[in-house]
Structure 1
């Protein structure tokens, strides 16, 4: 999928339901997981202890769910969901987040982004809800995460 023709803040409501397609692949390396653990304080062994994780049922360390969630922002920029006349974009939160399967360290993920809802919040302010569905690259049949994200767009 691609960005619709005549795509701007004023035409945004007409594009609700549009599938913007898949983001570029994003590798979830052990280094990235370790950095996220350090930043978040979530250093549970399944994320950071490679040796111990080899003996786990999964057989590998796995990405934090919140790390996957944080990649939705990059995916949204990749697919061009934000109209070009937007002057500022603020994270407004998330809804209905589900982590459906573990993502092993060194896997790559892609995220499908759909424009789910648009609400005017007054002059120059538009609230956008995106449906983000993450997959391990090469397996678009089984989502690993589904999440709705909210962004406040400013004109």
Structure 2
């Protein structure tokens, strides 16, 4: 996706504006299980579907918070976070993360991204701060809100 007139040279004009909303992506049990294996976080509330149906206050398994956090970058890239004129965008860190609502296995989520600030560092480097809201289809509260930092390289 491309954001009209969004370029490295004009990026300051977009401060305070919503850059876009990604498509919906399914957080299914297979994705949750793969994340659990990759990270070693095999807590039953994520991977034991039968036990979670019986004992979880959510009626089934839920995604790891860090799995939902990891979805922000690819969904921001989908909307076109890296502007024309930048050769690369690198994760630079997080300023704030709050996990608001668990994501149940099978739920669909999307990322709503707003540009908060732009800091030109010299040498063709620019730090973007964005506010990300990972929304859950059919839920009033988002899964998480996070201020993320990306370094752009011209």
Name the TM-score class by shorter chain.
Answer: over 0.9
In structure 1, how many angstroms separate the alpha carbons of the residues matched to 2:59 and 2:84?
Answer: 44
1:145 deviates by 0.5
Cα-Cα RMSD: 1.4
In structure 2, how many angstroms separate the alpha carbons of the residues matched to 1:80 and 1:130?
Answer: 13
Q: Which residue of 2 aligns with 1:60?
A: 60
Q: Which residue of 2 aligns with 1:20?
A: 19
The ranges of structure 1 where at least 4 consecutive aligned residues each deviate by more than 3 angstroms after the TM superposition are 2-5
Q: How many residues align?
A: 153
In structure 2, how many angstroms separate the alpha carbons of the residues matched to 1:4 and 1:29?
Answer: 29
Q: Which residue of 2 aligns with 1:142?
A: 141
Cα-to-partner distance string for 1:21-67 (whole Å, 9 max, x where unaligned)? 31100100100001111111111111011111001211110001111
Q: Which residue of 2 aligns with 1:80?
A: 80
Gaps of 5+ in 1: none
The equivalences for 1:1-155 within 5 A come to 4-55=3-54, 56-139=56-139, 141-155=140-154
Q: For the structure 1 residues 18 and 3, does the alpha-carbon distance in structure 2 shift closer, same or farther, using more than 3 Å as the test?
A: farther
In structure 2, how many angstroms separate the alpha carbons of the residues matched to 1:39 and 1:118?
Answer: 34
